[in-house]
Amino acid sequence: MTDPFALDDDIPDPFQPAPRRGGPAPVPADAPWLIGLNPEQHQAVTTTEGPVLVLSGAGTGKTRVLTSRLAQILAGRRAQPWQILAVTFTNKAAREMKNRVAHMVGPVAEQLWLGTFHSLCVRILRRHAEAVGLKSNFTILDADDQLRLLKQVMEAEHIDNKKWPAQSLMGAIQRWKDRGLTPDKIGADLAGDLAGGRAGQLYRLYQERLRTLNAADFGDLLLHCLTLFLSHPDALAHYQEQFRYILVDEYQDTNVAQYLWLRLLAQKHKNICCVGDDDQSIYSWRGAEVGNILKFERDFPGAAVVRLESNYRSTPHILAAASALIANNADRLGKTLRPGLKHEASEIEKVRVRGVWDGPEEARVVIEEIETLQRRGESAASMAILVRAGFQTREFEERLITTGIPYRVIGGPRFYERQEIRDALAYLRLINSPDDGLAFERIVNLPKRGLGDAALQAVHAVARARAFPLFEAARLLVETDELKPKPRGALSKFCDDVLRWRSLLDDLPHPELAEMVLDESGYVEMWKNDKTPEAPGRVENLKELVRALSDYENLQSFLEHVALVMENDQRDGVDKVTIMTLHGAKGLEFDNIFLPGWEEGVFPHQRAMDEGGNAGLEEERRLAYVGLTRARKRVLVTFAANRRIYNQWQSALPSRFLDELPAGHVEVQAERGLMGSWSQPAKPKGPGAWAIAPKERTSDFDVGERVFHQKFGGGTVLAVDGDKLEINFDKAGTKKVLDSFVEPA
DNA sequence: ACAGTCGGTTTTTTT
DNA sequence: AACCGACTGT
């Protein structure tokens, strides 16, 4: 066995610049990255020693501070690039930071330890895999494989998957991992009655299965890293020594495991700089703990705290609207955003709010506005539609297609999640890692080789009996007469093929190998013979996959990229409107922002409130804050009075967040009667002016009266609450609607 | 072994 | 409505 602590990768290679001598050097005050910083930014950049917490509001130049700080440390000869750890939350942020630093300090930026938590953990784990029970070429499973594996475990344990869906147990396991909890830490108190009280045991079995498959899921990457650090003090000491400076982006989004990871690594030098904004914490559902910000000063006594409050992005109206909204959250550190830019008064528009009848009309209104802006010279690329949930994109897409406006959906079906790509990857995974049983199962009978349930069962039986990986079990099985001749021959051929491909791994360039595999396996052929309309596209995607392979040194690094960088950044030069979720928009900015679907239940999302209570509502509000602060010049917020959900029409009430926008900075344009009590002209009277009307206004309808509603048809009034009616519709059941939507029948 | 049908569920956000 | 998974018949 190789020494798990071999760290020879860290020895500087001859291509790196000679180590700087003579310790820190002064950085000239006119260094390019210091020019134009405001005093707070300057302080955040130049306070390189000791712990620093930067509370950075939206649009206050956070990325600039981080990159300048990196440049400052490097130019001040305070550390070699590989002694600096810079952690981001997304791959996009990592890439941008790397580019910007490279621009300032040149190619040494390549040597920084800069990346997402997950990619940095993989980098460490590849070297110490044995220490946590894996081999260095371990596979990183995606969500799909994770669930598949857990289902297998649960099935083997005879857990009724109707009563205990694998999905919810998966969620629990992930949250445990987010908190740094290994199976031995899961007591009855944590497991609860999940999976009949056997959740802890199932978690353990799942982890065991992962190890046998030489695989790790996303959460494992951090968890194993923590295990490594805690069980191998020499490894921890090595990295503590190495990372003289640590920088963390989006600190408010770190979960407990990530927090522990950082805290361990920072113990030696304590030069850790965390940048975050509690008002933009929107990932608590994924285990993020805003509390990590609060703990910072406790864990690192004497930490310098810098507040960045000058906003260089949005107009005063937008800032005022966002600030007033977020002020409704009780649980926050409190920051005040100040306009940092000069704006031409004539150019400044108020935030606009518009109510419409239903979803399709909302799409029409938004796209009309897009066209208007385009006529005024705004580019499509300057506009983004930010939705709460993925399903909302459809109506806008449809409308954009009919209008012929180019658009792109970020976060839609991703390239590496497509069926054909995952199948092709399974072939490559099996070649790369013989232990990858999930890959084996996925492709052993794809294309159809006449290997069905019976054959697969037999393979499983052998694997279990001998504690072999599935692939090895299959090889053994075909030497026996266990299988009928036909399946036996097919399986034998399959095994021979895989072995042959694997033997070529070192000799053939990997793109050629991939091409050969896809060809000889008959996989491409399968799609070429497929008559469905999407088949040609799939063949194209496979070609693209082979092409993408050539961008990577070897198969292993490609597979890793696929697992960690699940994004499709179609940043072609074409001028396109962007559609994405609010979560996806964090960190981005656009001149023109559209915020549709501001209705109770949609936004704030019902489930967020049901499951998260008031904390859930506050997180939704932060999401709204993130949405508003993406805009530089214009915001259009819309809501629809009726929405089709599960193919059922439902009436909706305007989002409470609308009430929280300050009247003086908002302009309301609603169609007659659609706003309910929100009728224009509203009398602006400071914040809250939009509040749903005084209860004095009572509907003209009476209980028991027959009414007619455009979408729901006829019904009987059950109750009257101000201008809201509860109506028992003959067809659609009981619903609450505003009285302006119904007429006497 | 596999295709076709039936019935139940789905829509929160993602490294 | 549309998709998925389990079941059934060939």
| Block residue for tokens 């006529």 | A375
Residue A56 among known ligand-binding residues: yes
Asked whether the predicted pLDDT for residue A8 surpasses 70, the reply is no
Together in a domain, A499 and A638: no
Residue A257 among known ligand-binding residues: no
Asked whether the predicted pLDDT for residue A221 surpasses 90, the reply is yes
Together in a domain, A239 and A286: yes
Query: Residue A702 — very low, low, confident or very high, per pLDDT cuts 50/70/90?
Result: confident
Specify whether A249 is catalytic.
Answer: yes
Query: Residue A76 — very low, low, confident or very high, per pLDDT cuts 50/70/90?
Result: confident
Query: Residue A741 — very low, low, confident or very high, per pLDDT cuts 50/70/90?
Result: low
Rounded Cα gap, residues A539 and A545, in angstroms: 10
Residue A633 among known ligand-binding residues: no
Which residues lie closer than 8 Å to A563 by C-beta, 6 or more apart? A139, A140, A141, A142
Model pLDDT for residues A312-326, shown as the tens digit of each residue? 999 999 999 999 999
Specify whether A650 is catalytic.
Answer: no
Mean pLDDT of chain A: 85
Rounded Cα gap, residues A388 and A660, in angstroms: 18
Model pLDDT for residues A232-259, shown as the tens digit of each residue? 999 999 999 999 999 999 999 999 999 9
Smallest CA–C1' distance to B11, residue: A391
Model pLDDT for residues A262-308, shown as the tens digit of each residue? 999 999 999 999 999 999 999 998 889 888 888 898 999 889 999 99
Specify whether A497 is catalytic.
Answer: no
Boundary of a domain, candidates A540, A568, A596: A568
Nucleotide nearest to A90 (CA to C1'): B15
Our measurement of CA A200 to C1' B9, in angstroms, reads 27
Given A142, A145, A220, A250, which residue is catalytic? A250
Together in a domain, A191 and A339: no
Boundary of a domain, candidates A547, A568, A589: A568
Specify whether A298 is catalytic.
Answer: no
Our measurement of CA A599 to C1' B11, in angstroms, reads 15
Which range (A252-266, A344-358, A564-578) has the least confidence? A564-578
Together in a domain, A206 and A229: no
**Other C-beta atoms within 10 Å of A721: how many?**
11
Given A40, A48, A62, A472, which residue is catalytic? A62
Given A177, A335, A429, A630, which residue is catalytic? A630
Residue A696 maps to a domain: no
Asked whether the predicted pLDDT for residue A14 surpasses 50, the reply is no
Query: Residue A391 — very low, low, confident or very high, per pLDDT cuts 50/70/90?
Result: confident
Asked whether the predicted pLDDT for residue A227 surpasses 90, the reply is yes
Residue A596 maps to a domain: yes
Give the pLDDT of residue A572: 64
Give the pLDDT of residue A697: 44
Which range (A130-139, A408-417, A446-455, A572-581) has the least confidence? A408-417
Query: Residue A646 — very low, low, confident or very high, per pLDDT cuts 50/70/90?
Result: confident
Together in a domain, A515 and A421: yes
- For residue A503, the domain's CATH number is 1.10.486.10
C-alpha to C-alpha distances, A686 to A19, A213, A493, A669, A694, nearest whole angstrom = 61, 62, 77, 18, 16
Model pLDDT for residues A400-452, shown as the tens digit of each residue? 988 999 998 887 777 777 888 889 999 999 998 889 998 999 899 888 888 88
Query: What phi and psi values does residue A676 have, to the nearest 5 degrees?
Result: 60, -130
Together in a domain, A378 and A516: no
Asked whether the predicted pLDDT for residue A635 surpasses 50, the reply is yes
Rounded Cα gap, residues A385 and A367, in angstroms: 10
Percent of chain A residues topping a pLDDT of 90: 48
Together in a domain, A246 and A299: yes
Which residues lie closer than 8 Å to A165 by C-beta, 6 or more apart? none
Which residue range(s) make up the domain with A546?
415-568
Residue A58 among known ligand-binding residues: yes
Compute the average pLDDT of residues A183-193: 80
Smallest CA–C1' distance to C1, residue: A647
Together in a domain, A557 and A581: no
Rounded Cα gap, residues A37 and A354, in angstroms: 38
Query: Residue A699 — very low, low, confident or very high, per pLDDT cuts 50/70/90?
Result: low
Q: Are A218 and A118 in contact (CB under 8 A)?
A: yes
Boundary of a domain, candidates A190, A213, A236: A213
- For residue A238, the domain's CATH number is 3.40.50.300
C-alpha to C-alpha distances, A63 to A23, A58, A276, A311, A380, nearest whole angstrom = 27, 11, 11, 13, 25
Tell me which amino acid residue A309 is: E
Our measurement of CA A391 to C1' B3, in angstroms, reads 31
Together in a domain, A76 and A204: no
**Nearest alpha-carbon partner for A370 in A638, A605, A108:** A638
Asked whether the predicted pLDDT for residue A692 surpasses 80, the reply is no
Query: Residue A679 — very low, low, confident or very high, per pLDDT cuts 50/70/90?
Result: very low
Number of domains in chain A: 5
Sheet containing A742-744: order of strands? A733-738, A724-729, A713-721, A706-709, A742-744
Compute the average pLDDT of residues A146-158: 86
Residue A697 maps to a domain: no
Asked whether the predicted pLDDT for residue A196 surpasses 60, the reply is yes
Together in a domain, A445 and A517: yes
Smallest CA–C1' distance to B9, residue: A646
Residue A151 among known ligand-binding residues: no
Give the pLDDT of residue A711: 63
Alpha helices in A660-696 (DSSP H): none
Together in a domain, A419 and A399: no
Model pLDDT for residues A474-494, shown as the tens digit of each residue? 999 999 888 888 888 999 999
Given A88, A227, A280, A392, which residue is catalytic? A280
Give the pLDDT of residue A509: 92
**Other C-beta atoms within 10 Å of A659: how many?**
16
Nucleotides of strand B under 7 angstroms from a protein beta carbon: 1-3, 10-15
Specify the pTM. 0.84
Our measurement of CA A167 to C1' C9, in angstroms, reads 31
| Block residue for tokens 């109206």 | A317
Rounded Cα gap, residues A590 and A408, in angstroms: 14
Specify whether A480 is catalytic.
Answer: no
Together in a domain, A527 and A425: yes
Residue A268 maps to a domain: yes
Residue A400 maps to a domain: yes
Nucleotide nearest to A178 (CA to C1'): B15
Smallest CA–C1' distance to B13, residue: A583
Our measurement of CA A489 to C1' B14, in angstroms, reads 43
Specify whether A63 is catalytic.
Answer: yes
Nucleotide nearest to A608 (CA to C1'): B12
